[in-house]
Amino acid sequence: MTSFPTGYGRAPQLLFTSTNLSNLARTNNQIFDVTQQLSTGLSLLKPSDDVVRAATVSTLDSRIERSDQIIRNLGFASSSLDTLDQSLGDAFDLINEGIGIALTQVQSTATAEERDGQAVVVDSLVDSLFRIASRESVAGYIFGGTQPGRPPVTDLIGAFRFEGGRGGLTTDLGTGLNIPVTIGANNAVGAVSNRIESAVDLDPALQLDTRIEDLNGARDLGVSLGVVQASFNSDAPFSIDLSGARTVGDALDTIAAAIQTYEINSGNTVLDAGGVSISGGAITLDIVAGGSLEFLDLDGGTTGADLGIVFDPSTPFDESTTTAGAELDAKITWTTEIGSLRGLAGPLGQVRLNNNGQAFTIDLSGATTLADLRSAFEQGGTQVSVEINSDGTGINIVTRIAGTNDRSLSIAEIDDGVGRTAEALGIRSFARETELSVFNDGRGVNVVSGRVDPDGNLDPELNTDFTIVLGDGFEIDIDLSPDDLTTLGAVIDEINAQADAALTAAGRTPGEFTASLSDAENGVLLTQTVAGGPIQVERKNNSTAADDLGLLDLTTLPGDLQARGEDRAKVRVDNIFTGLMDLAEALRNDDTNGIRFASDRLQDQVKRLTEQRALVGGFARQVDDETRREEDRNVLDQTTRSKLRDVDFADASTRFSLLQTQLQASLYVTSQAQSLSLLDFIG
């Protein structure tokens, strides 16, 4: 006899159908999910499956994606640094070959023809160096600095111009790493001369539109803006919020507005007609008669001290003793007006600039701002650039030309009736302030000193460096000591002192001979008042002092009363190019001393190149170490993500089998329920 299973009891057929279909649908959905997991390999198919796991996996995805990019960047950096290291190594070999040629030629009795042949070999080294300087890596031109997209060195027919930027190109290599993958200016291959630096603090006056960020501040630490307090006649202090000021004018307006508000609220009059203004380089306040206004910084604040209105010891502003704050020391910018430069002595006229074998007349008379001055220097193919120095006090004239000595940079005066413009700007390359250490490409000036006679006594005759012979034959011995070798002005003064002493001792008139700085062309000017012939200078005791000062090859001026020496303070780029070209030129000229000097220059480049190669090697080591660490982090993140996201195939297969069995059972039960009839129910 047919009967119902005990689990069903009496229930409508519709309820059986609905319940069974629901069970079937749920099982099918679970089978579908497991099938998706098995086919995709993922246990987390959508965020709603597990919100916490999904959020964690999303974070790990971002970290892994960034890690993959960093690893690629590290690979690029490693490749670029390897290319850079190889190039520096090749340059190192070139230098050693050049030094070897120089040493061989100095130590041997080679003929002029043999040296001329070796000069051709050195020329080939220069060509090879040019090719090395033009090498590229995945980051671009390796010597291009921050501008690796263009060739860093260009050939100017007999000279080379460095076009690369300063510093080096950096990329994202992970937290804490700032490693350049290229190198730029001031390396042994491509260096930029920066020796003509302004010897004058141009000292711009404070302007209303002077930016706060362009102030060194009264403490010479910049200006940190915030809140200051002010008290009038010891009254309750009121606050002045200067944090929003962007210019000096903004700061003055804020101070004036706060004081005006106090006047309205208190009924006191603080400011007289002059109000809050600027004078020279400081903030000034016009306080009413009998009034006293004191500014105070909050605890830990420095705004008032930086703006020069808070003093130590505390001092109030009043009508008589204190009307102006401390100097704020504004920096120069390209928008600084020439007329506001308090350190500039007189109007601007013309200067003569010599660079790359060409002479240029730079007319600055029409310049109204420093930007105009820069344009005047940089236009017309001068091959120089103008920069503001790091202190914001003056300008630097920079050349990027590496060539022989006749292509050096120099700036001289022009007698245009206006004044000494180059000296006023502090950029004359041959001035009294010029340090002797920069003479002769950094070799300086050498003197003989400390020589004694057979008895051990200091012998003045043995220590004489050179003799100045006047037109009538009178000789003036000059003995310079190392203590004299500070600046050009100090040496000129010492020469004049010894000349006056010699003339006086001979019963002659002091002043018959004087040494001075030439007014126009660079060089030491020798002037005599006696007739008979031109001034001559003779070397003594094998001293190189006269030659180092440019006094051996004198240019006699019309009338024979004056003679001008050579400019030995010219500015040159100091890199391997100039060293090799100097060597080639000395070999062609059969100049043994020149060969020796070129060898010394190349020896200096060996030291620089060794240091740079060691630095690049250190960078490469850091990149390798960081690559290993980043790869380890990446593997750990991927492992963690896999545990959270990827499917366990064994578990999924087991669940799939169980769900199949469950589905079969459900289908069987459903089929049994669907086969019942009313007779089965009655029975």
For the segment 509-558, what is each residue's pLDDT rounded down to a tens digit? Answer: 999 999 999 887 899 999 999 988 999 999 999 999 999 999 998 999 99
Query: What is the mean predicted confidence (pLDDT) over 20-49?
Result: 74
Predicted confidence at residue 305, as pLDDT, reads: 95
Q: What percent of the chain has pLDDT over 90?
A: 52
Worst-scoring range by mean pLDDT, 168-182, 297-311, 352-366?
Answer: 168-182
Composition of the chain by helix, strand, coil, percent to 5: 40, 20, 40
Q: Quickly state the pLDDT bin for 193 (edges 50, 70, 90).
A: low
* 360 DSSP β-pair partners: 353
In tens, the pLDDT along 555-601 reads 999 999 999 999 999 998 888 999 999 999 999 999 988 999 999 98
Closest CA to 514 of 531, 494, 534, 533: 494
* Dihedral over alpha carbons 17, 18, 23, 25 (to 10 degrees): 110
Predicted confidence at residue 675, as pLDDT, reads: 64
| pLDDT of 309 above 90 | yes
128 alpha carbon, distance to own chain's centre? 29
Domain boundaries, the chain: 13-43+646-682, 61-192+576-632, 212-318, 338-429, 460-564
- Residue 680 tokens, joined: 């089965």
Q: Quickly state the pLDDT bin for 1 (edges 50, 70, 90).
A: very low
What are the b/e assignments for 335-373, b being 16+ CB within 10 Å?
ebebebbebbeeebbbbbbbbbeeebebebeebebbeeb
Q: Quickly state the pLDDT bin for 35 (edges 50, 70, 90).
A: confident
482 alpha carbon, distance to own chain's centre? 34
Please report where in the chains the tokens 């291959």 appear, as a residue: 189
Do residues 569 and 438 touch, judged by C-beta distance below 8 A? yes
Predicted confidence at residue 180, as pLDDT, reads: 85
Q: Which letter does DSSP use for residue 188 in this model?
A: S
- 345/201 Cα distance (integer angstroms): 11
Question: How long is the chain?
Answer: 683
- 478/344 Cα distance (integer angstroms): 36
- 16/664 Cα distance (integer angstroms): 17
Do residues 529 and 508 touch, judged by C-beta distance below 8 A? no
Do residues 283 and 276 touch, judged by C-beta distance below 8 A? yes
In sequence order, the 6+-apart residues with CB closer than 8 A to the CB of 440 are 548, 568
Q: Which letter does DSSP use for residue 214 in this model?
A: G
In sequence order, the 6+-apart residues with CB closer than 8 A to the CB of 436 are 444, 445, 485, 486, 487, 488, 491
What is the chain's mean pLDDT, rounded? 87
In tens, the pLDDT along 129-165 reads 999 988 998 888 888 888 888 888 888 878 888 887 7
In sequence order, the 6+-apart residues with CB closer than 8 A to the CB of 613 are 85, 88, 89, 92
> Where does residue 409 fall: left (phi above 0), alpha (psi -120 to 50 degrees), or beta otherwise?
beta
517 CB neighbour count, 10 Å cutoff: 19
Q: Which letter does DSSP use for residue 111 in this model?
A: -
Peptide bond into 313 cis (omega under 30): yes
Query: What are the φ and ψ backbone dihedral angles of 230, each rounded to 5 degrees?
Result: -135, 145
Worst-scoring range by mean pLDDT, 30-39, 282-291, 298-307, 469-478?
Answer: 30-39
Q: Is 34 exposed, middle or buried (0-12, 13-18, 19+ CB in 10 A)?
A: buried
| pLDDT of 439 above 70 | yes
- Residue 112 tokens, joined: 């002029």
Do residues 217 and 345 touch, judged by C-beta distance below 8 A? no
Antiparallel, parallel or unpaired: β 282-287 and 271-279: antiparallel
- 448/450 Cα distance (integer angstroms): 7
In tens, the pLDDT along 242-291 reads 999 999 999 999 999 999 999 999 999 999 999 999 998 999 999 999 99
Query: What is the mean predicted confidence (pLDDT) over 442-459?
Result: 87
Do residues 133 and 125 touch, judged by C-beta distance below 8 A? no
Predicted confidence at residue 187, as pLDDT, reads: 76
Q: At what angle do helices 592-645 and 51-107 cross, to 10 degrees?
A: 170
Residue type, 382: T
Residue 482 or residue 192, greater confidence: 482
In tens, the pLDDT along 456-489 reads 888 889 999 999 999 999 999 999 999 999 999 9
Predicted confidence at residue 194, as pLDDT, reads: 62
In tens, the pLDDT along 620-674 reads 998 898 889 989 988 998 888 878 777 767 776 787 788 778 777 777 777 766 6
Q: Quickly state the pLDDT bin for 8 (edges 50, 70, 90).
A: very low
- Residue 428 tokens, joined: 């004359």
- 315/323 Cα distance (integer angstroms): 11
61-192+576-632, superfamily in CATH? f41 fragment of flagellin, N-terminal domain (1.20.1330.10)
- 362/506 Cα distance (integer angstroms): 46
- Residue 373 tokens, joined: 């001055």
| pLDDT of 9 above 60 | no
* Dihedral over alpha carbons 611, 617, 621, 623 (to 10 degrees): 100
Which helix (H) or strand (E) segment is 180 a member of? none
The C-alpha angle 438, 444, 445, rounded to 5 degrees, equals: 135
Q: What percent of the chain has pLDDT over 70?
A: 94
User: DSSP letter string over 590-638?
Assistant: T-HHHHHHHHHHHHHHHHHHHHHHHHHHHHHHHHHHHHHHHHHHHHHHH
